[in-house]
Amino acid sequence: YRSITVSISKNGQPMICAANPQDGSCRLLYQVPNGQNPQQARQELLRRVTNPQPNLPPISVY
């Protein structure tokens, strides 16, 4: 099980990624837009993962 975490990318942008404790890597799931709270973005992402709704607009993934 990978944990969803908020980290800061190399250019200082907050991003949400799936942390893999085995090798310490962090796979980018979602780049948090400027002005958006990373914790809110994380909650939103988790909500969509656990309760998918096909008619929601997609989260932009980079």
The Cβ of residue 25 has, within 10 Å, a number of other Cβ atoms equal to 11
Helix (H, G, I), strand (E, B) or coil at 43: helix
pLDDT at 54: 64
Q: pLDDT (tens digit, 9 = 90+) per residue, 8-30?
A: 777 787 888 888 778 878 787 77
Average pLDDT over all residues of the chain: 74
35: left (phi over 0), alpha (psi -120 to 50) or beta: left
The Cβ of residue 51 has, within 10 Å, a number of other Cβ atoms equal to 8
Helix (H, G, I), strand (E, B) or coil at 30: strand
Report the largest interatomic distance among the alpha carbons of the chain, rounded to a whole angstrom: 36
pLDDT at 42: 79
